[in-house]
Structure 1
Amino acid sequence: MEQNKNTLIQFNNYGMGHGDEALALKLAGNYFQLLMDDDRLPKIITFYNAGVKLLHEDSPVVKVLKEIESKGVVLLACKTCLNYYNMQDQLAVGVPGTMMDIITLQANATKVITI
């Protein structure tokens, strides 16, 4: 896990890729579960734009995200995006953060992966 110690993954969509939402959510669920099972966890996962919806209490991937968070991964949701989607009180996992937080985390990361 040392190689991923300072990796940041960014989710900016509700799921993975563009197209069918059900498929995008299935892919995201598979991705998070495989990430968890393989134990190559990043230090941080940021969520912005529609990506913040993955942290919603009704999200189909919230269970695995809670498991990832319990392993010490920081899950950071863009506050502006939460406000835009009126989700301030519906965050089931993760913590709100500012765009400046995201910029700082990106600058400090040794590797940034955008999904």
Structure 2
Amino acid sequence: MKNAVIVFSRNGMGHAPVELQSKLAKKFLRLTIESGNLPGKILFYTEGVKLACSGSEALEELQELEAKGVELVLCLTCLDFFRLTDQVKVGVVGGMGDILTAIQMADHVISV
């Protein structure tokens, strides 16, 4: 799955109460790690950037994925909009150009 990209555009997964969305994202990331079938990149934009910032339930999983070589890319415009630039705990801050390039180069794009 190295040529796959996962996209988080929400602060969690699905259309549910915020607490459930967060729990689902954490579980999805944990199961991804346990599967050993890791994506090349995980992209975060709009509210998805919140998953990589202070207070996120998914920080442990994201740090583990990054340590295993998965590139985590966060949208700078989105971080600025939510005033979270100084709260990033994992990943690299990039621009929409970085996100677009990652999507264009991927064999598979999975939006969760």
Q: Shorter-chain TM-score: which interval?
A: over 0.9
Q: Give unpaired runs (5+ residues) of structure 2.
A: none
Mapped partners of 2:64, 2:2: distance in 1: 17
Aligned pairs for 1:32-51 within 5 A: 32-51=29-48
Residue in 2 that maps onto 1:73? 70
What's the CA shift string for 1:63-112, capped at 9, x where partnerless? Answer: 11100100000000000000001011110000101101111111100100
Does structure 1 residue 101 correspond to structure 2 residue 73? no
Q: Letter of the aligned partner of 1:107 in structure 2?
A: Q
Aligned length: 112
Q: For 1:96, what is the secondary structure of its paired residue?
A: strand
Q: Letter of the aligned partner of 1:106 in structure 2?
A: I
Residue in 1 that maps onto 2:27? 30
- Pick from 82, 97, 109: which aligns with 1:112? 109
Q: What CA RMSD, in Å, does the superposition of the two structures yield over aligned residues?
A: 0.6
What's the CA shift string for 1:11-43, capped at 9, x where partnerless? Answer: 000000012111111110100000001111100
Structure 1 vs Structure 2: percent identity of aligned residues? Answer: 42
Q: For 1:31, what is the secondary structure of its paired residue?
A: helix
Mapped partners of 1:37, 1:19: distance in 2: 25
Does structure 1 residue 85 correspond to structure 2 residue 82? yes
Q: For 1:46, what is the secondary structure of its paired residue?
A: strand
TM-score, L = length of structure 1: 0.95
Residue in 1 that maps onto 2:10? 13
Q: Letter of the aligned partner of 1:15 in structure 2?
A: G
Cα distance, 1:6 vs structure 2: 0.7
Q: For 1:89, what is the secondary structure of its paired residue?
A: helix
TM-score, L = length of structure 2: 0.98
Mapped partners of 1:89, 1:40: distance in 2: 31
Q: Give unpaired runs (5+ residues) of structure 1.
A: none
